[in-house]
Chains A and B, each alone.
Chain A
Amino acid sequence: MLTIGQHVYDEIVTHARRDHPDEACGIVAGSTGSDQPLRVIPMLNAERSPTFFRFDSTEQLQVWRELEEHDEVPVVIYHSHTATEAYPSRTDIGLAFDPDAHYVIVSTALCGNGEGSVEFRSFQIVEGVVTEEKVEVA
């Protein structure tokens, strides 16, 4: 199960709506071993694409170094789907590398840049196997 704060949920959704129709991406950092996602770090989508995302490599290095200094990890790795449901695509599954991360996908297919409804789902992806988990917003 993924338990996240309302502000974390809101920040991810706001980012996804803002970047629509391109895919938004980022992480939520938390202390190593805590499984608590506390700090949303929106990342640049170097692809600036409605169908693909990739963290900007230079920004990723800076952020990963910061995490290490603070003894943090990316508890959540999130991105948006802007035309399809919030379920991992074949590409998402193939490129998922962190068995401990919660892979969150937000679909803005229904709301676009507006205030309409979003789909917000979380998955564990381990060696190509996708397991959906409950999301509790506390």
Chain B
Amino acid sequence: MAVEVRIPTILRTYTGGAKAVEGSGSTLGEVIKDVESGHPGLEDHLLEGGDLRRFVNVYVNDEDVRFLDGLDTVVADGDVVVVLPAVAGG
């Protein structure tokens, strides 16, 4: 199943400059693994200790996955995943 994954500017060095890449899988976690296989290094910027990094926002069809099932969020053909760096500080 093909899912579009939109990559923020800061991570496009891993996608050869592409704004979006395709991934497959039935959950967000599987899609990230699949994208990593074609674009090594990306995963490290999204995950930490097997979970999503605290200061990276990931959305499936415009919903922040923190309010869904995180990496277990179910995705389907045609879904859109958006990655954005969180804007935060102290």
A interface, CB within 8 angstroms of B: 23, 25, 27, 43, 47, 51-55, 57-58, 60-61, 64, 77, 79, 88-92, 95-98
B79 to chain A, nearest CB (A): 15
Are the CB atoms of B10 and A98 closer together than 8 Å? yes
Are the CB atoms of B10 and A51 closer together than 8 Å? no
Q: Residue of A at shortest CB range from B59? A: A61
Would you mind naming 18 contact pairs between A and B with Cβ atoms under 8 Å apart? Answer: A27-B87, A43-B87, A52-B89, A52-B90, A54-B87, A54-B88, A58-B62, A60-B57, A60-B87, A61-B82, A88-B89, A90-B90, A91-B88, A92-B90, A95-B87, A96-B89, A97-B10, A98-B85
Are the CB atoms of A92 and B64 closer together than 8 Å? no
Q: Which of B66, B82, B89 has the most CB atoms of chain A within a 10 A radius of its CB?
A: B89
Given contacts A52-B88, A60-B87, A61-B84, whether A95 and B64 have CB atoms under 8 Å apart is no
User: Which residues 42-59 of B sit at the A interface, judged by CB distance below 8 A?
Assistant: 55, 57, 59
Q: How far is the CA of A60 from the CA of B57 in the complex (A)?
A: 9
B18 to chain A, nearest CB (A): 15
Residue B90 contacts which of A43, A61, A91, A97 (CB distance < 8 angstroms)? A91
A25 to chain B, nearest CB (A): 7
Q: How far is the CA of A54 from the CA of B88 in the complex (A)?
A: 4
Q: What 0/1 readout, one digit per residue, does chain B (6-30) give for beta carbons within 8 Å of chain A?
A: 0000100000000000000000000
A43 to chain B, nearest CB (A): 8
